[in-house]
Chain A
């Protein structure tokens, strides 16, 4: 179905297959669906019989839901559809009526797109996680009839969302969490991408009950803690793809896959062994310069192979780290004039519930050559050493479990799952992959060409961070929970110029790999004074501003942690996060203006708020006191913290002041005089930070959380001594109080008359 029938004039290269692939990618076995296969496997009728499948439960559109649509990049072009968040509600006379009506339906099932862009959820919210689902589509922008009207673009996105939804269904899931959409545009070609994690959600959270109620119920049910979300949501006998299942290593009752990929943060109640680490897959593919349709075709043809390669790299690197799950996976495909770039970032962890990953075995195709054999065995040894070293580095020491206890075949340590690397030019891809369909269990890397050799080398050239350093792209690092208040948010931008002569895919890959590795190394070096520390929320963005230019932008926050208290129990951490979920978020977050309104006493979904307010837990009272406390606690005038995380370690956010969303454009006609491109951009970004801080300070805040640099478009013309840059940043302005100061404040103010309904009304945009 390469052509969109509804858009006869727009040639749409609709790649269903490889997105299908990715939904499969969350397990170690790859499964290739031929291009012409129906993208929607008929899982609906014959599908998994998850216990929730036919249950009718109501879904009150939580804030998270409406947030999702508002935070979507493409929201502007989205016409309100029934069931699409608050859009419909507004039309039907007051949100509450609509919500009431929706509540009585089995909302989630009825929803057009049950997607959540949130990546963190209250404990117990995620019942099962199916895996990553993703869809991409290549479009030609110059074929839009009315570029000013959103219809065409809406239709494009609707297709993609439909696709995502069907993937989720194929995995036996009714919702998608950690959902995101992105575009990459070069000239008139545009790649639309969407990805998320298929999941089964706890219906009770979607009902009108309170979070506390849910937690209680959950405890009553005595669900396995820390592994439930790993259990497969699909039917074992009707698996949508071949996967290697074992009984859960934690509860030993249900089946789990051997590897799990997700786009969400690690659930707070997940049991993790050791620490996590940032894992990146990097890939470039050259492409001939072409126009319009030919270009779009070329891109469409390359994409599946790139996805496959990226996935292979992720798998290999994950195994090399001795880990078995990826969280926060974000695959970015960037299109340029003459190349495509793929960058996947995720945080690898060892989930206690999943089996120990097997090793990696190298196999040569020409076994007769003695020296070659020697080389192979040398590499094999190196790989084994690296795995052993990584296990030590990340403190991965899973308890030994004998097979009898598990009562099911588990992969022995030496056992390996099989995966054949793809050769991008090989035509027998599909058949090769079909080999892995059966119960092959060796993870074999075949190095029969220089290309593959490079890959194995690049596996080993990824240098681990220096000791005392950790990095992840999720909010916080699993296994570290004693953060200090020392944080340093930063943005780093690098642009390299490729020598245009004789560029090969290999050279390109190496350049890109070096670029990213050097960038990380630089960060480790620059922030060495913060050791022991962790780079959190490491966010890489790749763009190809010109033919031979590659730009990588990184924003992250370095947080120092206390090594001495490293043995703090995870339990307190979970409790803390529980509190955070139940009290902080409910009472302080978001929009009490609408939600605490008394004018609609019977309105359906604020019980969560109402109950919490009535119950007025000691924690809650504390919060109220803080709210009424003037911001005198912020004695450090002028200092505004910035962080891409949703919280500030060692501090309590007492008030949300609204969204900061700022666009800046800077141009210079005296580039040399300003210190060249580096000087220009350095000064500009420093000023952007300063303006954000000033804006927050003007609102009475002292920090920005959830900070993100959405755009950093840089263009230069050195001959004309000119450069331009556009930057878009956003975040939430907040007031925070140090936890140490908090105690002082609350004891000083034993009584406080506070009206929760009148706080936090000023939402600035």
Chain B
């Protein structure tokens, strides 16, 4: 006796969250069945393995049919084939677009192209995430990227509107799109300690302050591309380190203000010129695409690592960065206050987030 055909169709489409998760994780039906057996579901419900097999097959078939709708979530809301309560629809979409931290760290900042897709095998081996799941996540990134890439308006809003994601997930996707577009390097060894959350945080600050959208909310690509003019202007900041008098004045202002407040004052005093040179040089280099990509590498190399090697506590870093950016306002010979604020305001936030073990 072999089962030729075995289906179950409900007027309201049944969605089993556990099976959906297994499907999203890329398990085959037989793997999913054995995982479900291990979860103890047979004992709880008194079902047999055959029942479980049939149930899993049914759900997999349903998910397979739903998948093409999930590629364009508004379609899922407007289709008539599957009657699914709104809360379940939201769950389906949210879970489908959810991604693994380990996976996103591997592809963050990489070009979402066929070339990268070929590397998914390696990523799968490295992260232990099934290739199927890697493909889904990669395709999600790419799909979102393609849709919102050239769009006007806020990146997060666009993603939310076209993919019906929750605010949080939409923000994450905005970061992924932003990183992919600017191709920030995130894979270097010295950046491995950083989480996706760290990068997403920086991306959000950069989108808010450094993109075209920060000055004009009506241009295409406004949240995706950095403001080229702003990057050009950043060269002007170079005088802060090139002009020796200005540098000395800046240092003395900072040291005066922080004396007695920092645990690592002497280290700071000794390193001030190096740190300042590092931060300003990063700004000055951003005219070149290559250097934009290395932004995070540079920040970690030029600032995070020196501070960390001197064991600066986070609070000292915060005090230093606050004072460091504020003191520039007292430099009479420096005219680019607004530019400095736009640059340093974002950078300060990013550095504080990046400064951890």
Contact = CB atoms under 8 A, between A and B. Distances in A.
Interface stretch (A199-207, A676-684, A753-761): A676-684
Interface string B46-90: 111011101101100110110000000000000011110000000
Contact of A690 (B3, B52, B81): B81
Nearest to B44: A528
Contact of B11 (A466, A641, A678): A641
Interface string A632-643: 000000111110
A617 B65 CA distance: 51
A521 B9 CA distance: 16
Contacts of A466: 45-46
Interface in B1-44: 1-14
Contacts of B4: 495-497, 549, 677
Given A492-B7, A496-B4, A514-B1, A526 B83 contact: no
A90 B99 CA distance: 69
Given A488-B12, A495-B3, A686 B82 contact: yes
A338 interface: no
Contacts of B64: 675, 679
A76 interface: no
B168 to A, nearest CB: 27
A694 B9 CA distance: 17
A489 B54 contact: no
Contacts of B48: 518, 521
B7 A521 contact: no
A686 B3 contact: no
Interface string A501-535: 00000000001001100100111111110000000
A693 B9 CA distance: 14
A679 B1 contact: no
Contact of A682 (B14, B52, B65, B80): B65
Interface residues of A, number: 47
A548 to B, nearest CB: 10
Contact of A493 (B5, B14, B62): B5
A516 B65 CA distance: 27
A681 B7 contact: yes
A385 interface: no
Contacts of B14: 488, 526-527
Contacts of A686: 9, 13, 65, 81-82
A685 B80 contact: no
B8 A492 contact: yes
Nearest to B82: A686
Nearest to A499: B1
Contacts of B12: 488
B11 A689 contact: yes
A719 to B, nearest CB: 14
B45 A694 contact: no
Contacts of B11: 488-490, 641-642, 689, 693
B8 A526 contact: yes
Contacts of A687: 81
A96 interface: no
Nearest to B81: A690
Contact of B8 (A498, A511, A522): A522
Given A521-B48, A686-B9, A511 B1 contact: yes
Contacts of B51: 518, 521-522, 525
A714 B5 contact: yes
B247 to A, nearest CB: 68
A26 to B, nearest CB: 34
A496 B45 contact: no
A528 B8 CA distance: 14
A494 B3 contact: yes
Contacts of B52: 525
B9 A689 contact: yes
Contacts of A711: none
Given A675-B64, A681-B7, A518 B50 contact: yes
Interface string A112-151: 0000000000000000000000000000000000000000
B9 A525 contact: no
A526 B19 CA distance: 12
A682 B9 CA distance: 7
A551 B3 CA distance: 10
Contacts of A524: 47
Contacts of A693: 11, 80, 83
A491 interface: yes
A685 B13 CA distance: 12
Given A497-B4, A498-B1, A685 B9 contact: yes
Chain A CB within 10 Å — which of B4, B8, B61 has the most? B4
A495 B7 CA distance: 9
B7 A678 contact: yes
Nearest to A493: B7
Interface in A141-179: none
Nearest to B48: A521
A661 to B, nearest CB: 18
Contacts of B47: 521, 524-525
Contacts of A679: 61, 64
Given A488-B11, A490-B10, A526-B14, A678 B1 contact: no
Chain A CB within 10 Å — which of B10, B46, B48, B57 has the most? B10
A679 B61 CA distance: 7
Nearest to A514: B1
Given A489-B10, A522-B51, A686-B65, A678 B5 contact: yes
A680 to B, nearest CB: 9
A681 B5 contact: yes
B68 to A, nearest CB: 12
Contacts of B5: 493-495, 551, 677-678, 681, 714
Given A466-B46, A518-B51, A521-B47, A496 B81 contact: no
B45 A683 contact: no
A1 B137 CA distance: 74
Interface string B242-276: 00000000000000000000000000000000000
A724 B254 CA distance: 82
B55 A683 contact: no
B65 A496 contact: no
Nearest to B85: A639
Interface string A460-495: 000000100000000000000000000011111111
A641 B80 CA distance: 13
Chain B CB within 10 Å — which of A494, A681, A714 has the most? A494
A685 to B, nearest CB: 4
Nearest to A486: B12
A683 B6 CA distance: 12
B61 A675 contact: yes
Nearest to B3: A496
A527 B14 CA distance: 9
Nearest to A549: B4
Nearest to B4: A495
Contacts of A640: 83
Nearest to A642: B11
Contact of A525 (B3, B13, B45): B45
Contact of A494 (B6, B61, B65, B80): B6
A677 to B, nearest CB: 5
B55 A525 contact: yes
A499 B45 CA distance: 31
Nearest to B2: A497
A672 B78 CA distance: 28
A644 to B, nearest CB: 11
B2 A496 contact: yes
Contact of B10 (A488, A499, A678, A714): A488
Contacts of A495: 3-6
A522 B54 contact: yes
Given A686-B9, A686-B65, 9 more contacts: A495-B5, A497-B4, A523-B8, A641-B11, A685-B7, A689-B9, A689-B83, A693-B11, A693-B80
5 contacts: A488-B11, A494-B5, A525-B45, A685-B7, A693-B83
Closest 4 A-B residue pairs measured CB to CB? A495-B5, A490-B10, A495-B4, A489-B11
